[in-house]
């Protein structure tokens, strides 16, 4: 810790009476990003008191010899209720991992800390644009907050970095219903991220067509509003990796132009590789229920499902991804007050994950010939 970096810590200790000697073993972490951060005590107290709302405070982040200033606010629909919660960081200048605005995700549903890197691998291999991510260990005012993921946010910059035009982005919120039936108000389940208005007219048209299209017209009519191939590909991959909340949550729909159909971006992966998910052929939502009534869609789905299962979701692909990540995060995992220090074993969690992958793959392979209409 250089003398510029230690000044906020000394000031904090003068008023709290602590020993200014910093012997935190987390300071030796070098295999992943180490965010040695400082928030003024009164601001940190206000942040803790307001983590359920959109409320930001200034933060200073030291990474090696680099010094970043910006703001921090709470993120995460589930983690906000827990002692380890997620954050959004906005930097005033400079970039970390080529980003000046990103999430620090606590991955509260994943004690292995492996699901995001595995799901990212599978979706990328299936041809999807996936947010960039990397591991980081977070300290705030010399107190270890633990192991996090740096997660690229899906905003205009996301598309610009990839050279992808974007006209509209719709994000599912929670337990989404893709129907107007039973008086569903879709504004409860979807929000518009791009462009800057609350108009869901195009998405309403898609949902209405999904509700009303006749079986014989499913493929020809729905493909004008939804890129059927990419959706079926997404649904097949999400089912195979047991993405428990990937069918009514964590889906981003985007249009390249006003005239093009909605395409799919996967999002938020800590609910994937979930042993409680036992569905074999397709996760449940109104989109897949309608599409698989059409023989052409069913044929495409079988092709994507089979390709993912036989070429991507295999141990020789996934296990090396896990093993490499374990090397990077082991020290950070052990020092995380909510993981290693709370009694979790990285080796045990990884072993359970590998067993799950092997057993699920064998179950799906054995059932492949039975893939049929719902």
pLDDT at position 19? 46
Statement to judge: residues 288 and 170 lie in one domain = yes
Q: Cβ distance 294 to 215 under 8 Å?
A: yes
Q: How high is the pLDDT of residue 225?
A: 98
Residue 344 domain-assigned?
no
Whether 336 maps to a domain, the answer reads no
Q: How confident is the model at residue 22 (pLDDT cuts 50, 70, 90)?
A: low
Q: Which two structure tokens, joined as six digits, stand for 99?
A: 């980003």
Same domain (yes/no): 135, 284:
no
Mean pLDDT of 134-148: 97
- Phi and psi at residue 32, to the nearest 5°: -135, 170
Band of residue 372 on the pLDDT scale cut at 50, 70, 90:
low
| Domain identity same for 142 and 208 | no
pLDDT value at position 81? 86
Q: Summarize the confidence of residues 38-43 as an average pLDDT.
A: 97
Half-sphere exposure of 141 toward its Cβ, with a 13 Å CA cutoff? 16
Question: Number of structural domains, the chain?
Answer: 2
Q: Do residues 220 and 272 share a domain?
A: yes
Residue 7 in domain: yes
Over residues 345-372, mean pLDDT: 94
Residue 191 belongs to some domain of the structure = yes
Same domain, residue pair 245 and 277? yes
* Section 236-240 average pLDDT: 98
CB-based burial, 83-115: b 16+ in 10 Å, e otherwise: ebbbbbbebeeeebeebeebbbbbbbbbbbbbb
CA distance 71 to 102: 11
Question: Does 280 reside within a domain?
Answer: yes
**5 band by pLDDT with thresholds 50, 70 and 90:** low
Band the pLDDT of 369: cuts 50, 70, 90.
Answer: confident
- Give the pLDDT confidence score for residue 8 in this predicted structure: 55
Domain coverage including residue 43 = 3-106+130-152
Q: Which residue would you say has higher pLDDT here, 8 or 242?
A: 242
Residue 124 and residue 118: Cα distance in Å, rounded? 10
SS3 9: helix
On whether residue 188 sits in a domain, the answer given is yes
Q: Tell me what the mean pLDDT of segment 127-138 comes to.
A: 97
The reply to whether 325 falls in a domain is no
The answer to whether residues 298 and 189 belong to one domain is yes
Minimum mean pLDDT range among 3-12, 128-137, 214-223: 3-12
Q: Which two tokens stand for residue 58?
A: 């200034």
**Is 374 a residue whose pLDDT tops 50?**
no
- Answer yes or no: do 197 and 79 share one domain: no
Query: Who has greater pLDDT, 370 or 289?
Result: 289
pLDDT level of residue 20 (50, 70, 90 thresholds): very low
Q: Residue range 75-94: average pLDDT?
A: 91
pLDDT tops 70 at residue 3: no
Do 213 and 282 share a structural domain?
yes
| pLDDT in the model for residue 92 | 97
Residues 304, 232: one domain? yes
Q: What is the pLDDT of residue 56?
A: 97
User: 171 and 144, same structural domain?
Assistant: no
Predicted confidence band of residue 7 (pLDDT cuts 50, 70, 90): low
Residue 201 has pLDDT above 70, yes or no: yes
Structural domain ending residue among the three candidates 118, 152, 186: 152
Task: Say if residue 206 is in the same domain as residue 60.
Answer: no
* Residue with more model confidence, 16 or 171: 171
47 and 191 assigned to the same domain: no
Identify whether 212 is part of a domain.
Answer: yes
Q: Which of 152, 184, 213 is the last residue of a domain?
A: 152
Q: How many Å apart are CA 311 and CA 292, to the nearest integer?
A: 23
Whether a cis peptide bond, with omega within 30° of 0, leads into 321 is: no
pLDDT at position 16? 43
Residue 16 vs residue 210, higher pLDDT: 210
How much is the mean pLDDT over the chain? 92
For residue 6, the model assigns a pLDDT of 52
Does residue 242 have a pLDDT over 80? Answer: yes
């Amino acid at each position: 810790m250089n003398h510029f970096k230690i000044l906020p810590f000394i000031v904090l200790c003068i008023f709290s009476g602590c020993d200014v000697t910093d012997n935190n073993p987390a300071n030796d972490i070098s295999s992943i990003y180490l965010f040695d951060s400082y928030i003024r005590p009164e601001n940190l107290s206000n942040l803790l008191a307001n983590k359920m709302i959109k409320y930001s405070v200034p933060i200073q982040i030291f990474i090696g010899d680099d010094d970043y200033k910006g703001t921090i606010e709470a993120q995460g629909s589930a983690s906000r209720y827990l002692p380890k919660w997620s954050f959004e960081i906005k930097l005033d200048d400079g970039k970390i991992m080529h980003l000046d605005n990103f999430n620090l995700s606590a991955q509260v549903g994943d004690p292995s800390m492996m699901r995001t890197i595995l799901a990212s691998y599978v979706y990328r291999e299936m041809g999807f644009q996936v947010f960039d991510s990397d591991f980081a260990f977070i300290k705030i005012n010399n107190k270890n907050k633990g192991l996090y993921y740096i997660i690229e946010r899906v905003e205009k910059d996301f598309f610009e970095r990839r050279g992808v035009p974007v006209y509209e982005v719709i994000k599912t919120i929670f337990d989404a219903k893709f129907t107007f039936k039973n008086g569903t108000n879709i504004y409860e389940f979807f929000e518009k991220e791009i462009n800057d208005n609350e108009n869901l007219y195009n998405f309403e048209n898609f949902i209405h067509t999904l509700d009303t299209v006749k079986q014989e017209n499913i493929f020809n009519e729905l493909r004008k509003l939804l890129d059927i191939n990419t959706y079926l590909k997404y649904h097949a991959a999400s089912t195979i990796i047991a993405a428990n909340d990937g069918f009514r949550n964590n889906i981003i729909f985007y249009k390249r132009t006003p005239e093009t159909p909605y395409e799919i971006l996967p999002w938020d992966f800590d609910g994937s590789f979930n042993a409680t998910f036992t569905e074999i052929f397709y996760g449940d939502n109104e989109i897949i229920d309608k599409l698989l009534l059409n023989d052409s869609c069913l044929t495409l789905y079988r092709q994507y499902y089979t390709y993912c299962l036989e070429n991507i979701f295999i141990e020789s692909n996934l296990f090396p991804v896990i093993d490499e990540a374990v090397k990077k995060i082991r020290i950070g995992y052990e020092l995380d007050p909510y993981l290693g220090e709370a009694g979790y074993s990285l080796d045990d969690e990884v072993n359970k994950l590998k067993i799950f992958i092997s057993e699920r793959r064998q179950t799906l392979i054995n059932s492949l010939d039975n893939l049929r209409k719902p």
